[in-house]
Structures are given as structure tokens and as C-alpha cells.
Amino acid sequence: MTTTEALSYVTKVLEQVDLYRHASSIVQYDMETICPPKGMARQGEVGAFLANQAFRLMKDPAFVEAAEVLYAGREELNEFERTLAEKLHREYLRTRRMTAEDQHEAARVANQAYVDWLSAKEADDFSRFAPSLEAVRRVEMKSISLMDNASPIAYDNLLDTYERGMTSAELDYLFGACRERLVPLLKRIMQSKKKIRRDFLTRPVTDRAQEELARYLLTTIGFDFSRGLLGTTEHPFTDGPGQFDERVTTNYDPVNFISSLYSVVHEGGHALFDMNQPAENWKHYITDMKTMGQHESVSRFYENRIGRSEAFLGLIYPKLREVFPEVMADVTPRELYEAVNIVEPSLIRTEADEFTYTFHIMIRYEIEKEIIRGNVSTADLPKLWNDTYEAYLGVRPAGDRDGILQDVHWTSGFGYFPTYALGNMYNAMYYNRMKEELDIDKAVSEGRFDLINGWMREHVFKKADRLAPREWIRDITGRDLTPDDFLDYLEKKYTDLYELD
């Protein structure tokens, strides 16, 4: 079989794989948004079946042979085709010894874990989720045992699933730098005499008004509603089943309007990443090559670097007064800016302020390592969670809902959480690069997201599927990954905000 013949065969099979994955994605979206509670278990079985059909197509010996021929002849291919060949070879090494039955078991466990997590969270009872969490760990460890060339450090294999090339040793260094600079700064902030007004943040608002704001926000940052939609769910997420189908979700809180505001801008950032990638990525089936660190860098760029800036808040201030007249009647733009940037140690990661957010990630990272190493029993996890929160942030959950059950991520495995922090570090680096060419605050205050998104499209989005994270950030900035840009940004912003000496 020639390289050209292999490419033709692989492409034809991937057309079918894409159909199954598209359908599975739609089923999953339905399950997490509008599916009635009693129908979720069956919905999960359907999704697992569809995903397994895609997996079986890629395990067929003829497909495997063609994919390996393609990899062997990758130097004959163009950049997009070569990326596909390397992607398929990487997947082959990870799943060569995994059977279709193994994959189906993992998908079934994940879907059942989601159902059990929802039930446990509603009941504020971790014990309802514990058996599923143990099952998730079991299938994760089994998948590692089946990998070719697996790292002897089990957790590193899981990290690599979400962020290619990342290791726990490097994360230990990055988080160590964060602790060294952020812990003393947090103490100084907590001792500051600066008083920030926040009473209006908890004034009641309607779901209808929040939805109007959400649609305005998405439109403002450049979301294309002809290619996407907005829905609601328990834990906000974004999913893109196809090239012209991007689905953003949020959750409305009647006494905390900024919760939805920032979840919408965050998820909208994910959507913009997908909507603005090269059409060639879809043609060559490489749209899933972006790592979660890359993706979270973009979502948190729009959420924090743009969304919490005075320029952006000044831009949306008139709309906030329009949709929330009773909330905003006596609030100035500066008071709004200070309130959404207030630093306050809290329990819920998704609602944490920009400064303490990194602490939430470090907590999860440390607990995940202990879970994978087998150093803590499942029954003891709630206490470990609560103790770690108290040690890091001085707060302690009163129950499981606001503690260990707050995040959905462990229903599908471990290793995702560190990518949020990596995202902050990436976007701090390319924000500094962007401001060398663009007056960012001016563009934002004028609503010129065509300028912002245009720069992102050319420098950040364009090569994300074709470059590993280390090469990608070096291609954008000319520098290797460092936490310094992010930490410098936090130190300056919050020293100024809290008027520290």
C-alpha cells in the first residue's frame, strides 16, 4: 500500500468515525442539558455504544495497517496530513492493546459516574458517588497498563492525555513558583484596609434577564449564532459536534449574576477557538489535537484578561443597566470593576476570584496525585478535600455539594484540572505579545473584537492543532513556558486594586 492509498483509505474510514462521534456528542449534550433524570442512564448507554462503534472502526486491522503506512511515509505529506498521521500513530500507541470491550467499559463507567455524580450532588452525599469514582480510577489505571511506552509515573500518563508532554515534575515546579509568590501576596491583600463594595452582586435577577445578557455577551465577543447555540446545564461546558455546530451552556443563579456572566464569557472563549480554526483542520480530522491547556488559555483569556478588565466592563456597563435596572441603578463602572475583581477565599472553583483560582487548581492537583498513587481511600477523600481547603484558603466546606462534589471532571477521569492553571500562564504570555502590536484596552472599550479575534486567529488559533504546546507557545511568543508573566500580572493588578505599599 502506498502512502497515497493509505491516506485515501484512512480518510474514508474517518468519515464514518466522525459520524459516530458526532452522534455520540449530540447524545452527551442532550444528557447534560435536557434529558429527564430517569432517562439519563439509558442515554449514557446509547452514547457509550456510539463511541464504541467509532473505536471499533479504528481498531480494524486494515485501518491500523493503513494508518501505520501513513505514519511511515509522513515526510511525503503536507503539514495537515502529517499531523493526522502523527495523531493516529499516537493513538495507536495508547490503545494498541485496548480491546473494544475495554473502551466500552470505560465509556459506560464514565456515563454512569455522571448520573451518580448528579444524584450525589443533589443529595449532598459523597457516598452515592464513591463507587463510581472507584470505578473511574480502576478504568484509568487499566488504560495506563495497556499503553505502549507508558511513563512509570502513572499520573503523568493521565496528564499527557490532556496536555501533551506535560509532567508532574514540571507542574510541581510551576505550582511551586505560584505558591512562593501568591501566598504572601494573599496575606497582604487580606490585611489591606481597602474596602470594596459588593452588596449589589447578590441582588435578585431573573433567568430571562440573565439569558438576554448571555446572548449579548456572546454576540459582543464574536460568537456566531448561525453556527452555535446557548443552553443551560448543571455544570457549564462547551461542545462542538461539528464544524458548524458549537454549543455553549451556562447556569443561572438568581442571586449571583456574575456567575453566569463569566461562565458565558469563559465558554464563549472555548467556542471562538473552535469557530476560528482553519477549515483544513476539519477536512483532515485534526480538530481534536488542541490540548486542554491551549483551550483553557483561550477561555480564560476572554473570561479574565478581557472580561475582568475595566475596558470590557465599561463596554458592557450600559447593557447591564438595561437588563438589571434594579441591580445597577446606583452602581458606578469603577464599583463594578472592583467588585468583580474582589479577592476572597471561597469554596467553589467556578465562582472563585481570579487571584485565588490558582489555589483551587493546586488543591485538586495534589489530591489527584494521591488518588492515583493509591495513598488515600475513597471514603477518606471528603476529609482530605476539606482539610486541604482549610490549609490553603482558610475555608472549610460544610457539606459535600460545596466540597468534593462541586466539579464534574472526575466522572471522566483525572489530569484535567492542571490545564486551567497552564492556560492562565499561556495567555499571560501571549497577551504580552499581543499588546506589542495592538492597543488591547482601546479595541475592547470600542467593542472591536474583530481586531482581538483577528490577532488570536492568526497567532493563537491557527497552528494550535499542528504544534505541541511547547512549540505552540514558543511560536507565538518566542519564549518557553514560564509562570512569570502570569504572576507579574497578578502582582501588579492586585497591588494596585488593593492599594498595597
C-alpha 230/C-alpha 475 separation (Å) is 33
Burial code (b: 16+ CB inside 10 Å, e: under 16) for 338-352 equals bbbbbbebbbebebb
Q: What angle do CA 248, 477, 432 make, to 5 degrees?
A: 70
Task: Kindly give the pairing relationship between strand 238-242 and strand 228-232.
Answer: unpaired
* Residue 227 and residue 175 in contact, taking contact as beta carbons nearer than 8 Å: no
* Residue 452 and residue 443 in contact, taking contact as beta carbons nearer than 8 Å: yes
C-alpha 405/C-alpha 205 separation (Å) is 26
From 86, 140, 163, 267, the catalytic residue: 267
C-alpha 209/C-alpha 216 separation (Å) is 11
Residues 6+ apart with CB under 8 A from 240: 25, 246, 247, 271, 274, 287
* Residue 42 and residue 57 in contact, taking contact as beta carbons nearer than 8 Å: no
User: In the annotation, is 267 catalytic?
Assistant: yes
* Interaxial angle between packed helices 310-323 and 207-221, expressed in degrees from 0 to 180 and rounded to the nearest 10: 140
C-alpha 121/C-alpha 128 separation (Å) is 9
Sheet strands side by side (includes 245-250): 228-232, 245-250, 238-242
* Residue 249 and residue 237 in contact, taking contact as beta carbons nearer than 8 Å: yes
C-alpha 276/C-alpha 268 separation (Å) is 12
Handedness of CA 365, 369, 374, 376 (dihedral sign): negative
C-alpha 372/C-alpha 155 separation (Å) is 6
Which triple of cell numbers denotes residue 304?
479574565
**Could you give the 3-state DSSP secondary structure of residue 19?**
helix
Q: Which residues are catalytic?
A: 267
